[in-house]
A and B are shown apart, each in its own frame.
Chain A
Amino acid sequence: GENVEQHPSTLSVQEGDSAVIKCTYSDSASNYFPWYKQELGKRPQLIIDIRSNVGEKKDQRIAVTLNKTAKHFSLHITETQPEDSAVYFCAASIPGGFKTIFGAGTRLFVKA
Chain B
Amino acid sequence: EADIYQTPRYLVIGTGKKITLECSQTMGHDKMYWYQQDPGMELHLIHYSYGVNSTEKGDLSSESTVSRIRTEHFPLTLESARPSHTSQYLCASSWNTGELFFGEGSRLTVL
User: Which A residues contact B (CB, under 8 angstroms)?
Assistant: 1, 32, 34, 36, 38, 40-46, 49, 87, 89, 93, 96-105, 107
Contact between chains at A97 and B98 (CB < 8 Å) = yes
Q: Given known contacts A43-B102, A43-B103, A44-B90, is B40 in contact with A107 (CB within 8 Å)?
A: yes
Q: Given known contacts A97-B94, A99-B45, A99-B48, is B40 in contact with A46 (CB within 8 Å)?
A: no
CB distance from A36 to the nearest CB of B (A): 8
Given the complex of chains A and B, what is the CA–CA distance between A102 and B45 in angstroms?
9
What are 5 contact pairs spanning A and B, CB under 8 A? Answer: A43-B103, A44-B102, A97-B31, A98-B50, A105-B43
Contact between chains at B96 and A100 (CB < 8 Å) = no
Contact between chains at B40 and A100 (CB < 8 Å) = no
For residue B59, which residues in chain A have a CB less than 8 angstroms away from its CB?
Answer: 1, 99, 101
For residue B105, which residues in chain A have a CB less than 8 angstroms away from its CB?
Answer: 43
Contact between chains at B40 and A34 (CB < 8 Å) = no
Given the complex of chains A and B, what is the CA–CA distance between A38 and B41 in angstroms?
10
Chain B residues numbered 57-111 whose CB sits less than 8 Å from any CB in chain A: 58-59, 90, 94-100, 102-105
For residue B90, which residues in chain A have a CB less than 8 angstroms away from its CB?
Answer: 43-44
Given the complex of chains A and B, what is the CA–CA distance between A44 and B100 in angstroms?
9
Contact between chains at A49 and B99 (CB < 8 Å) = yes
Q: Does B42 contact A (CB under 8 A)?
A: yes
Instruction: Name the residue on B nearest A89 (C-beta).
Output: B43
